[in-house]
A and B are shown apart, each in its own frame.
Chain A
Amino acid sequence: MKRYSVFAVAREALRYHTGWERAWRSPEPKRHYDVVIVGAGGHGLATAYYLGKNFGITNVAIIEKGWLGGGNTGRNTTIIRSNYLQDPSAAIYEKARSLYETMSQDLNYNVMFSPRGVIMLAQTEHEIRGYKRTAHANQQQGVQTEWISPERVKEIVPIINLDGPRYPVLGGLYQERGGTARHDAVAWGYARACSDMGMDIIQKCEVTGVRTENGRTVGVDTTKGPIDCDKIGMIVAGNASVLSEMAGFRLPMESVALQAMVSEPIKPCMDVVVMANTVHGYMSQSDKGEMVIGGGTDGFNNYTQRGSFHHIEETVRALVETFPMVSRLKMLRQWGGIVDVTGDRSPIISKTPVQNCFINCGWGTGGFKSIPGSGWAMAELMATGHSPLTEEFTINRFKEGKFIDESVAAGVAH
């Protein structure tokens, strides 16, 4: 792999950019791999990357039914934060956030990580108590967040309306090192590094069956033929229930649509991410100048990758009352992704009833931020059978009553 650098840019400029090579290979599948990862989203690619980097396992195929990064990884609003309430969440999300800090250097790929800060607005008495509690919990967990006053919020976000028509801004939970990154670049950067380690990324290839023998994984059936493997990692977000059914077990999960949209590009007006969970909307400004906007999920099971119109209206309404200037903006694009939601709004990173078959899913509305941490932990789990970061995130936690309850803390979780 030729490294990207300022010298490479200069060299290519001198020869009309004819020397850039493809960032990853597109091979035909081999008959056997040590590990097959199903799903080339951020989590699948990161898992493969850390299998290679941390454990030297490189005979790996990553199988993707569409194009890599074309699932939720390429559809999300890229908010990165680690201000969760429960200890296991804080551990894995903060691991991820800290890996984001050096990801561009690690991958030699600019993922445009921008720790511009994230504010979650408190707009009811209940939210004030909730966020103060989270700030205290974060302090214990070593996650840097703070509770800030409405005046401070206004200072950081001059375009905000503190006394909106329905809910005043009463303060906020602020994480200064939270922010955003370029979603596609995260997928592309990992893909390039995986391909460079000799792993095969096989796109436009759907897994249609999971083969087992005596309760053990032996391979997968795909639209490009059967592939044998010793271990499988199913990392397919909204399609997790479909894959688990192929392997013969059920999941405590439902798939629903979540939408987002972007406005026309405007001059820089907000250099922080703001989430308003009571009115159900959040916003940041991309480097191109577009306002990136998201809201809540639809209420019913859906695999269509498009959501309900009235949710768009609800989201925009919420933002107009929080940021009145938004009312003058034209929206450019709107889209949806299918998110995988569990009962306690926490992910499942776990062994399964099928031996050597591992699953990573349930990130729901908020798993972009966790991609590197999740990949790190999942690789450890798959390579060694155990990871301190995944211990609490088992499929069995529901039976044992050991929920990792982020549903109250997260509200709108992104």
Chain B
Amino acid sequence: MLILECPYCGVKAEETELAAGGEAHLKRFGPGSSDDEFHDYLFMRENPKGVHFERWRHANGCGKWFHAARCTMTLEVFGTYTAQTSVPTQEIIDKIAAKRPGWTWREFADEK
């Protein structure tokens, strides 16, 4: 069973309290972007066997969106962090580097 700690209210929430929100740190493209950019934003998804970053919502709790870093191979959770960022915290990145040497993910988008 997946348990994520909500970075806002500190509750260690179990899956039924949470709603999954898909890939994290997507850069939004809209009018004025190229077809490829718009297509990739809408449809292409990171689908790694290993380290993954996702959006989650503490749906049956405080109701807030947050981020989680997780391994899709083992369901190990590396950490959770707030929604107001386009990159994971250094602490989480260090932890992943220690546990999964050589890990990769796509470039973190600059959401500004």
Give A residues with C-beta under 8 Å from B. Answer: 239, 241-242, 250-255, 299-304, 308-310, 343, 398-399
Q: Across the interface, name the chain B residue whose C-beta is closest to A401.
A: B39
Of the candidates B35, B45, B75, the one having the most CB atoms from chain A within 10 angstroms of its own CB is B45
Cross-chain contact B54 with A255 (CB below 8 angstroms): no
23 A-B residue pairs with CB within 8 Å: A239-B49, A251-B44, A252-B43, A253-B47, A254-B22, A254-B45, A255-B47, A299-B20, A300-B20, A301-B48, A301-B54, A303-B49, A303-B72, A304-B72, A304-B74, A308-B2, A310-B15, A310-B16, A343-B43, A398-B39, A398-B43, A399-B35, A399-B36
Supplied contacts A308-B1, A310-B15, A398-B43, 6 more A-B pairs, CB within 8 Å: A241-B48, A251-B47, A252-B44, A252-B45, A300-B2, A398-B39
Residues of B with C-beta under 8 A to A343: 42-43
B19 CB-CB contact with A under 8 Å: yes
Known: A251-B47, A308-B15. A302 touches B1 (CB 8 A): no
Q: What's the minimum C-beta distance from B79 to chain A, rounded to whole angstroms?
A: 16
B1 and A309 form a contact (CB under 8 A): yes
In the complex the two chains form, what is the Cα distance from A141 to B107 in whole Å? 45
Smallest Cβ-Cβ distance to A310: which chain B residue? B16
In the bound assembly, the distance between CA atoms of A300 and B70 in angstroms comes to 11
Per-residue CB proximity of B67-98 to A under 8 Å, as 1/0?
00000111100000000000000000000000
Interface residue B25 (Cβ < 8 Å from any Cβ of A): no
Query: Within the complex, which residue of B1, B39, B47 is in contact with A399, where a contact is CB–CB below 8 Å?
Result: B39
Query: Judging by beta carbons under 8 Å apart, are B72 and A301 in contact?
Result: yes
CA gap between A398 and B72 in the complex, in Å: 26
B70 CB → nearest A CB, Å: 8
| Cα of A253 to Cα of B43 in the assembled complex, Å | 8
Q: Which residues of B are in contact with A by a Cβ distance under 8 Å?
A: 1-2, 15-16, 19-20, 22, 35-36, 39-40, 42-45, 47-49, 52, 54, 72-75
Asked whether A299 and B45 contact (CB < 8 A) given A309-B1, A399-B35, A399-B39, the answer is no
A242 in complex: contacting residue of B19, B36, B43, B49, CB < 8 Å: B49
**Smallest CB separation, A275 vs chain B (Å):** 24
- Inter-chain contact B16/A300, CB cutoff 8 Å: no
Is the CB–CB distance between B42 and A398 below 8 Å?
A: yes
- Closest Cβ of chain A to B100, distance in Å, is 14
Look across to chain B and name the residue whose beta carbon is closest to the beta carbon of A245. Answer: B48
Known: A304-B75, A308-B2. A250 touches B35 (CB 8 A): no
Q: How far is the CB of A266 from chain B (nearest CB, A)?
A: 30
By Cβ-Cβ distance, the 8 closest A-B pairs, closest first, are: A241-B47, A299-B20, A252-B43, A300-B20, A398-B43, A399-B39, A303-B49, A303-B72
- Which chain B residues lie closer than 8 Å to A251 at the CB level? 44-45, 47
- Give, as a whole number of angstroms, the nearest-CB distance from B36 to chain A: 8
Question: Cβ of B75 and Cβ of A302 under 8 Å apart?
Answer: yes
Known: A253-B47, A309-B1, A310-B16. A304 touches B73 (CB 8 A): yes
Considering only CB atoms, which chain B residue lies closest to A340 in the complex?
B47
In the complex, the chain B residue whose C-beta lies closest to that of A399 is B39
Whether A250 touches B44, Cβ cut-off 8 Å, given contacts A239-B49, A302-B75, is: yes
Taking CB atoms, residues of chain B closer than 8 Å to A302 are 72, 75
User: Distance in Å from the Cβ of A396 to the closest Cβ of chain B?
Assistant: 9
B87 to chain A, nearest CB (A): 20
> In the complex, what residue of chain B is closest to A342 when comparing beta carbons?
B43
- Given the complex of chains A and B, what is the CA–CA distance between A301 and B16 in angstroms? 16
Inter-subunit contact B47/A254 (CB<8 Å):
yes
Q: How far is the CB of B41 from chain A (nearest CB, A)?
A: 11
Q: Give the chain B neighbours of A309 by CB distance below 8 A.
A: 1
- Residues from chain B with Cβ under 8 Å of A301 in the complex: 47-48, 52, 54, 72
Distance A404 CA – B112 CA, assembled complex (angstroms)? 34
User: A250 CA to B52 CA in the complex, in Å?
Assistant: 16
Q: Chain B contacts of A242 at CB under 8 A?
A: 49
Interface centre among B15, B35, B43, B74 (most CB of A within 10 A): B43
B49 contacts across to A, CB distance below 8 A: 239, 241-242, 255, 303
